[in-house]
Amino acid sequence: MSNNNMKFILVISKLSNNMRQMKIKQNYHYISLQAMLEKGYDCELITHRFFKKDPYLTNQQLKLDDRITRKYFKSTFSYLNYLRKQKNAIIFANSRVPKSFLSCFFGKTTFFMSHKSDLPYKLWQKLVLKFFLKRFDYIKVSNPHEKQTLIKFGIKKKKIEVIPLVIDFQHFSKKLSLREKTLFKSSYSISPQKKVILQFSNLRDFKNPKTILLAIKELSKIRSDFVLLIVGKDLMHESGNKSINQMVKELEIENFVVQVGPVSHNDAPKYFQVSDLFVNSSFSEGQCITVYEAVAGGLPLCLSSIGSFTSVFNDSVLFHHSTDYKKLAQNMHKYLSNTSLMKDHQKKNYRILDNYSYGVVKEKLQHFFIK
């Protein structure tokens, strides 16, 4: 029977397919459960929605410790009634959905993580967010920018802790031989001489892929020895935007773009290893795991100058405004023409990753939750 004096409850919105693929060392939800298991806590995972295709995944299928109990409540009432009984439990709520917010009223100590670094745009959303954040005991953020944003928002500094998401350096730094790289490139009809610029993410409106494509058009005026490799699902239609394929055709850059689609977690390192440069032009990000995976893969970074990036990377990244495609094109050209600069920035970014290892993050989480 569970000891309610030593119980840790993780609340998330839903189980996803990504969780099935991701190794436990980098699974940003399960590391908190694993950390508390090691401290002798009974651990529960509460989900508001199940993964649609397979709602009753076992712990073994999810690579999850069998000591972790998973719960799902069909109604908000049953969920809140259950939390009401957990008077001595530690509750860690994730994501901005009403059910997660409501957990701030229950348990012995409550924690929250939003997975976003910026505030909502609408005033009523900001007011609602502030109401609930002030009622959580502590808030976990993934970068210094997010902490400063919340402090300015009126959240007490002592409540906020910067603890990043884990990056599995060993997994993403797996090297490929020259022969393996050549074969992998050839599978996408990319010649060995071509430089590869990598865009790795599911493509939504806030990822702002249009700036990257415009930058590729601009870069093609200067040089022709490169290709943009786009890895991820095209979800631009969700916000009523043109597809990546449509934009590529309209810009007439078909010869400079290769669309791969989504790939598995196990295959992901190969794309980092065959690439020479990583690009991101998002309007907004939390931590953006793929940026750090690119660092582990040894790639220099061309990033948008948003706070979640600039507060971590200083003189080791080439920044551009998220809509300044000309500056991005200049930055890409600068890296591809300067091998020594690329290597210098790679070394500096490797040192940043020391704070993103499984052991370091797990220990920080244990100190954070056990007050």
Q: Are strands 277-279 and 195-200 parallel, antiparallel or unpaired?
A: parallel
Tens of pLDDT, residues 145-184: 999 999 999 999 999 999 999 999 999 999 999 999 999 9
Same domain, residue pair 115 and 251: no
Rounded-to-integer distance, Cα 168 and Cα 21, Å:
13
Structural contact between residues 215 and 330, judged by C-beta atoms closer than 8 angstroms:
no
Rounded-to-integer distance, Cα 358 and Cα 354, Å:
10
162, containing H or E segment: strand 160-162
70, containing H or E segment: strand 69-72
pLDDT score recorded for residue 20:
47
Contacts of 338 (CB under 8 A, 6+ apart): none
Same domain, residue pair 176 and 315: yes
Six token digits for residue 48 = 């508001």
pLDDT score recorded for residue 238:
86
Rounded-to-integer distance, Cα 324 and Cα 305, Å:
10
Same domain, residue pair 11 and 130: yes
pLDDT score recorded for residue 47:
84
Same domain, residue pair 336 and 322: yes
Tens of pLDDT, residues 12-67: 887 654 554 555 667 778 899 999 999 999 999 998 766 555 555 667 666 678 89
Q: For the chain, state the CA radius of gyration.
A: 22
Rounded-to-integer distance, Cα 41 and Cα 90, Å:
10
pTM over 0.75: yes
Same domain, residue pair 155 and 175: no
Same domain, residue pair 323 and 198: yes
Structural contact between residues 257 and 228, judged by C-beta atoms closer than 8 angstroms:
yes
Higher pLDDT, 3 or 58: 58
DSSP symbols for 248-293: HHHHT-GGGEEEEE---TTTHHHHHHT-SEEE---S--SS-HHHHH
The whole domain housing 227 covers 169-355
Choice among 92-96, 289-293, 303-307, 354-358 with the minimum mean pLDDT: 92-96
Tens of pLDDT, residues 104-143: 999 999 999 988 888 988 999 999 999 999 999 999 999 9
pLDDT score recorded for residue 298:
95
Taken as a whole, the chain contains a residue count of 371
Same domain, residue pair 191 and 306: yes
Rounded-to-integer distance, Cα 189 and Cα 258, Å:
9
CATH code: domain of residue 145: 3.40.50.2000
Same domain, residue pair 196 and 270: yes
Beta bridge partners, 46, equal: 11, 71
pLDDT score recorded for residue 37:
94
Same domain, residue pair 85 and 59: yes
pLDDT score recorded for residue 313:
94
Judge whether residue 93 has pLDDT over 60. Answer: yes
Judge whether residue 76 has pLDDT over 50. Answer: yes
Same domain, residue pair 152 and 206: no
Same domain, residue pair 160 and 20: yes
pLDDT score recorded for residue 16:
55
Rounded-to-integer distance, Cα 90 and Cα 371, Å:
10
- Overall domain count for the chain: 2
| Amino acid code (one letter) for 258 | V
Half-sphere exposure of 257 (CA within 13 A, CB side): 25
Same domain, residue pair 195 and 91: no
Categorise residue 240: left if φ over 0, alpha if ψ from -120 to 50, beta otherwise: left
- Mean of the pLDDT values across residues 2-16? 77
On average, the pLDDT of the chain sits at: 91
